[in-house]
Amino acid sequence: MSETRIIQATDDDMKEAIREATSLLRAGEIVALPTETVYGLAADAFNADAVTKVFAAKERPSFDPLIVHVASRGDLKRVAVVPDEIAEDVNRLTEAFWPGPLTLILPKHPDVPDLVTSGLPTVAVRQSAHPVFRAINKELGQPIAAPSANRFGRISPTSASAVMKELEGRVPLIVDGGACTEGLESTIISIEPREGKKPVLRLHRAGPVTKEQLQAFGKVEKLKEKPGDAPHAPGQLPSHYAPHTPLILLSDPSDFRPEPGKRYGLMSYRGEDDGRYVTMHSWECVEALSPGSGKLAEAAIRLFYIMRSLDEAGLDAIVAEPVSETGLGVAIMDRLRRASVRE
């Protein structure tokens, strides 16, 4: 096991952080970097040997493709071949949401190693809005493949300390750029043209860019996943984002049947003292996604932090209160369902 270092990416240390991270990436190493969504485990996307280290460090199966990050909209052509029939739609979407948490699935450029796309003819690509990630991406001069910086299937990290808990000894460097501002992985869509109409935007993964925001650019339809299908994009496996502690997504408080002697913690939406979920059991601990206010944006930012906190509390099970499936609530509920699939 090798030593893992954390380097701060503050204003005073930014140049050194960029230099060290870029030097390692050029040498074919992997580095954990902050993005606005979650921390990513980065490698030069054109270096298949480096990408292999990403899969190994995460214990990620080779059939689960990675997202490729470009430094600018102009670099899109280096990793994807955009068909003429959707070129204008791609331009409109990238103008509106890049840099930012929207990933597009497009036909891949031959230069992208098959390992990155898990042998698929398509590539998932976005441009991060995080200033540290963007600076390193630009300095490297290469697209960066970067899935979340955690072991496969586990809780996504939204801080450098969470990355250290997940990957200590598996990665030489973690660049600490502070807490992630979105807290949920990017929205993933593909584009299906329609003659004389706006395209169908096929939603592969819900995320910070919501269905309501996308509807101005096309008809948004959720991808219908079939059991046993190989993933077409990252984050599609039925069990994902999961804590070690069993998580129960409880639709109705009256359905809760606690087992005698077991210790339960509650992931509450607002954490109100008189709330139905808070008062239905004598919890070992209660953590609120959006204390008192019930704001979905705050809940999204805190979701993985709270999940990790409860996972480390020595509980027998975590009970999660659902949130409204509107706006960001769709993405929050998607993560909770995948985290609780074992129950």
| Structural domain boundaries in the chain | 5-80+110-176, 247-339
> pLDDT in tens for each of the 343 residues of the chain?
589 999 999 888 899 999 999 999 999 999 999 999 999 999 999 999 999 999 999 999 999 999 999 999 999 999 999 999 999 999 999 999 999 999 999 999 999 999 999 999 999 999 999 999 999 999 999 999 999 999 999 999 999 999 999 999 999 999 999 999 999 999 999 999 998 899 999 999 999 999 999 999 999 999 887 666 667 777 777 778 899 999 999 999 999 999 999 999 999 999 998 899 999 999 999 999 999 888 999 999 999 999 999 999 999 999 999 999 999 999 999 999 999 965 4
Helices (H), the chain: 14-26, 48-58, 76-79, 84-97, 114-117, 131-140, 160-167, 211-214, 276-279, 296-311, 329-339
Q: Which residues contact 55 (CB under 8 A, 6 or more apart)?
A: 61, 62, 115
Domain spanning 5-80+110-176, CATH class: alpha beta
Q: Do 5-80+110-176 and 247-339 agree at the fold level?
A: no
- Say which CATH class 247-339 falls into: alpha beta
Token pair for 134: 């963007």
Q: What angle do CA 337, 313, 334 make, to 5 degrees?
A: 10
